Amino acid sequence: MAQTVNWGILGAAKFARTHMGPAIHSAKGARLVALATSDAKKAVGFQALEPSLRVHLGYDALLADPDIDAVYVPLPNHLHVEWTKRALEAGKHVLTEKPIAMNADDITGLIAVRDAANRFATEAFMIVHHPQWQRAKQRYEAGDIGELKHVEGIFCYNNASDGANIRNRADTGGGGIPDIGVYTYGATRWLTGQEPEAIAHADVTFENRVDVIARVSAQFPGFTAHWVNSMRMMNIQHMVFIGTEGVMTLTAPFNAGVFDQAELEISAGSNRAVERWPGVDQYVLQVEAFGQHIRDQVPYPWTLEDARGTQALIDAVFEKAQAR
């Protein structure tokens, strides 16, 4: 493959226009070549980034474009599996927004298609590319907080006034857990390398068949975890890892540079050390890491297998909630 990865975007979503389109445009070794949309007017914001952008009036037309090496899929959640499969079968590498599927079995199917196509596909779990999380994992594995005993994670926002938002619609795979629980759950799994043994408690509030408040407790080997995710609470996010010898806190762990500055604090008694990462764009880092993997086989920190583990946890949370 050439040193530059040619990207196409499947759908003119706002997030693609404001975050991932600019990230692809800015990333080293990447070039934004094409956009697929049913409305050419929606391409204007993308063409401001790349005036030579090719606009396809249909997703299949973009997948048939021989100049495209990789496809980014920002479509509503319920369309992720279908178009990830179709992109793979068209011979493209694929980066799909989270959650990449609505149940773990569908990700097993995606893994089979990925392997048959001999292409790379993964979920856009961008936080693992940010130096805040990479440093946190390094410090954790070095034993800097001793033996982990508890994880506390919270990620909330309030979109109650936006009923048309796809996150508030069951028919588009909406819900707080698929949208932001994937972060608190997945971050716990990724940093510790552990899988939950049991979901101890799942208190989930639904509106119109969509989860809007979720308080979940889980038992992992040697430690417990408690996560709060909501689309009906004031904006807040942090992750805390409590060990026998210290406490590690991540500020702005999911929207670094937007919600707040990314910081990592490790405290032990009166001792407190803080590291900060202003101005880091985790979306650019994600695109660059994707390109390095498909060009040079550089290890990639988040695979479909990783995504399946988080989705299995989400499936278990909903099962526990429905059993109450």
Can you give the CATH number for the domain in which 17 is found? Answer: 3.40.50.720
How far apart are the C-alpha atoms of 316 and 215, rounded to whole Å? 14
Same domain? For 150 and 257 the reply is yes
Domain boundary among 124, 149, 166: 124
pLDDT given for residue 196 in this prediction? 98
- 200-207 long-range CB contacts below 8 Å, 24 or more apart? 200/224, 201/320, 202/317, 202/318, 202/320, 202/321, 202/324, 203/321, 203/324, 204/177, 204/317, 204/318, 204/321, 205/232, 207/168
Same domain? For 256 and 172 the reply is yes
Amino acid at 235: N
Number of domains in the chain: 2
Same domain? For 55 and 131 the reply is no
pLDDT given for residue 259 in this prediction? 94
Low-confidence spans in the chain with pLDDT less than 70:
1-2, 324
Residue with tokens 């994670």: 153
Domain that holds residue 62: 5-124
How far apart are the C-alpha atoms of 85 and 73, rounded to whole Å? 11
Residue 289 lies in a domain: no
Closest CA to 7 of 303, 15, 28: 28
Residue 212 lies in a domain: yes
Domain boundary among 124, 159, 181: 124
Residue 200 lies in a domain: yes
pLDDT given for residue 1 in this prediction? 54
Same domain? For 151 and 272 the reply is yes
How far apart are the C-alpha atoms of 90 and 243, rounded to whole Å? 47
CATH number at residue 150: 3.30.360.10
CB 9 within 8 A of CB 21: yes
pLDDT tens-digit map of 217-254: 999 999 999 999 999 999 999 999 999 999 999 999 99
**Helix H or strand E segment including 201:** strand 198-207
**DSSP output for 119-182:** --EEE--GGGGSHHHHHHHHHHHTTTT-SEEEEEEEEEEE-TT-TTSGGG-GGGT--HIIIIIH
Domain boundary among 72, 97, 124: 124
pTM of the model: 0.96
pLDDT given for residue 2 in this prediction? 64
CB 182 within 8 A of CB 312: no
Q: Is the peptide bond before 22 cis (omega within 30 degrees of 0)?
A: no
How far apart are the C-alpha atoms of 217 and 188, rounded to whole Å? 12
Same domain? For 153 and 262 the reply is yes
